[in-house]
């Protein structure tokens, strides 16, 4: 009896991740994401949907709510049970109230009890597999790794992770939890987003650095717009705290305000760190703009140019020298990159020189990956995924025995773990 691993998509691209773990009796998928724009892979979303229709899966487990891990959820046949944490369920529920995706709204309302909510690190079973979720830091609040025990093997699937957020210490907890549960890891499936992304941006900021930097910046620039994902709650918290320190109010549209309320309700249960309920609706901005302000715009990815122009006119009306704080990956603004977003880049360029770049990456850099591998001590394979540079894992600063077990795969290829 053996367990097998198939990465249906993700061996040569960031996002759109779908991984299968299977025994003779049980087949599960981890994540069911839509491809990110400009991604390198050749497996199309429609190919994945066809596979979902043609095959039977006993469960689909989700690591976190980002679209590159959940984007095909509404295409999964209705008889497949879905496993997610409470934060993901609530955040997606708020999101889809605004996207008006009826299929997702119905799915998340969960009238037929199809959604199973797990609480890390409490294990659960699917068929003959035991699954233990571990909470981990990422630019999505409440991401999870999964430890899967099946056919005498243990497989740790990293999902997306980092250590530079406010909950970054959670990464150090994982080796401790493994020890506590007396678990050794045979196979580590490890994300490698930063194998191609952390080259030229200099020292990586953590959230504390970012808060300090933005706080100093807002002292002299008291009218600022912010481009940052509306579900990157760590960075929004950093900017919110930086604004408060400077006596500035923070504004956002109705959707972002609703999202921040949802998040604050969830997070308050776990930590006193986050409370973003004080963000005001941007409708009030006109009356209060003279005092100075910070406006959260969300990610603005893929917005139509005309709308961006109108948005800019509206936002800058009566404001003398608006500044933009850009807190996302810079690749979206680089015409040479496949993920280039001309509309977003056009909007950013409207601000001319008045752009402040301050970004904390959502993923582990090479150093963190190397440290993590050394602590997890996988015995049989390290399988890179969610990366455009799987080979790069052999160049990590890890012991040779770990370099020797890096196993690069192709999309759709299956390996048996024995």
Confirm or reject binding of residue 411 to Zn ion (CB under 5 A): no
Nearer to Zn ion, 138 or 249 (CB): 138
Whether 90 contacts 260, CB under 8 Å: no
CA 372-373-379 angle, 5° bins: 145
Confirm or reject binding of residue 234 to Zn ion (CB under 5 A): no
Whether 89 contacts 56, CB under 8 Å: no
Say which residue the tokens 């907890």 belong to. 173
Nearer to Zn ion, 18 or 126 (CB): 18
Total residues found in the chain within this entry: 418
Binding window for Zn ion (CB under 5 A); candidates: 48-56, 60-68, 80-88, 129-137: 60-68
Cβ neighbours of 148 (radius 10 Å): 23
Rounded least distance, CB 71 to Zn ion, Å: 10
Nearest C-alpha neighbor of 69 from the set 136, 134, 9, 156: 9
Rounded least distance, CB 10 to Zn ion, Å: 9
Rounded least distance, CB 360 to Zn ion, Å: 13
Candidate list 20, 68, 198, 411; residue touching Zn ion; CB under 5 A: 68
Nearer to Zn ion, 20 or 186 (CB): 20
Number of chain positions touching Zn ion (CB under 5 A): 4
Rounded least distance, CB 229 to Zn ion, Å: 10
Q: Quick one: tokens of 24?
A: 């003779």
Candidate list 66, 162, 221, 249; residue touching Zn ion; CB under 5 A: 66
Nearer to Zn ion, 64 or 221 (CB): 64
Nearer to Zn ion, 237 or 246 (CB): 237
Confirm or reject binding of residue 249 to Zn ion (CB under 5 A): no
> Interface residues for Zn ion in 155-194 (CB under 5 A)?
160
Residue 156 burial (C-beta neighbours within 10 Å; 0-12, 13-18, 19+): buried
State yes or no: cis peptide before 121, omega within 30 of 0. Answer: yes
Cα distance between residue 75 and residue 96, in whole Å: 15
Residue 1 burial (C-beta neighbours within 10 Å; 0-12, 13-18, 19+): exposed
Each residue 108-147 as x (binds Zn ion by CB under 5 A) or -, in order, gives: ----------------------------------------
Rounded least distance, CB 171 to Zn ion, Å: 15
Cα distance between residue 366 and residue 372, in whole Å: 10
Nearer to Zn ion, 191 or 341 (CB): 191
Whether 60 contacts 8, CB under 8 Å: no
Confirm or reject binding of residue 27 to Zn ion (CB under 5 A): no
Binding site for Zn ion (CB under 5 A): 15, 66, 68, 160
């Amino acid at each position: 009896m053996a367990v097998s691993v198939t990465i249906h998509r993700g061996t040569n691209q960031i996002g759109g991740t779908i991984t299968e773990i299977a025994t003779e009796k049980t087949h599960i998928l981890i994540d069911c994401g839509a491809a990110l724009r400009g991604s390198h892979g050749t497996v199309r979303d429609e190919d994945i949907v066809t596979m979902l229709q043609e095959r039977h899966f006993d469960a689909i487990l989700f690591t976190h709510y980002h679209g590159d891990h959940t984007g095909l959820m509404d295409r999964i046949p209705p008889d497949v049970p879905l496993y997610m944490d409470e934060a993901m369920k609530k955040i997606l529920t708020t999101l889809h109230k605004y996207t008006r995706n009826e299929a997702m709204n119905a799915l998340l309302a969960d009238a037929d009890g199809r959604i199973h909510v797990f609480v890390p690190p409490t294990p659960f079973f699917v068929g003959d597999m035991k699954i233990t979720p571990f909470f981990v830091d990422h630019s999505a609040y409440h991401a999870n790794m999964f430890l899967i025990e099946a056919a005498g093997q243990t497989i740790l699937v990293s999902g997306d992770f980092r250590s530079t957020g406010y909950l970054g210490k959670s990464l150090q907890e994982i080796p401790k939890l493994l020890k506590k549960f007396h678990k050794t890891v045979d196979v580590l499936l490890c994300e490698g987003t930063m194998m191609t992304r952390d080259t030229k941006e200099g020292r990586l900021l953590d959230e504390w650095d970012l808060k300090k930097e933005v706080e100093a910046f807002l002292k002299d620039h008291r009218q600022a717009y912010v481009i940052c994902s509306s579900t990157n709650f760590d960075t929004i918290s950093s900017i919110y705290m930086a604004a408060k320190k400077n006596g500035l109010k923070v504004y956002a549209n109705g959707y972002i305000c609703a999202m921040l309320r949802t998040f604050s309700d969830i997070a308050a249960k776990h930590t006193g760190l986050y409370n973003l309920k004080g963000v005001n609706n941007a409708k009030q901005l006109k009356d209060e703009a003279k005092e100075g302000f910070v406006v959260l715009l969300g990610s603005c990815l893929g917005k139509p140019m005309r709308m961006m122009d109108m948005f800019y006119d509206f936002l800058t009306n009566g404001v003398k020298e608006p500044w933009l704080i850009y807190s996302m990956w810079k690749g979206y603004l680089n015409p040479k990159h496949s993920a280039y977003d001309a509309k977003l880049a056009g909007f950013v360029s409207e601000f001319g020189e008045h752009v402040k770049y301050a970004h904390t990456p959502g993923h582990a850099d090479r150093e963190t990956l190397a440290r993590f591998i050394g602590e997890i001590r996988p015995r049989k394979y390290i399988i890179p995924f969610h990366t455009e540079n799987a080979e790069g894992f052999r160049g990590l600063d890890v012991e040779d025995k770990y370099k020797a077990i890096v196993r690069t795969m192709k999309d759709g290829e299956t390996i048996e773990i024995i």
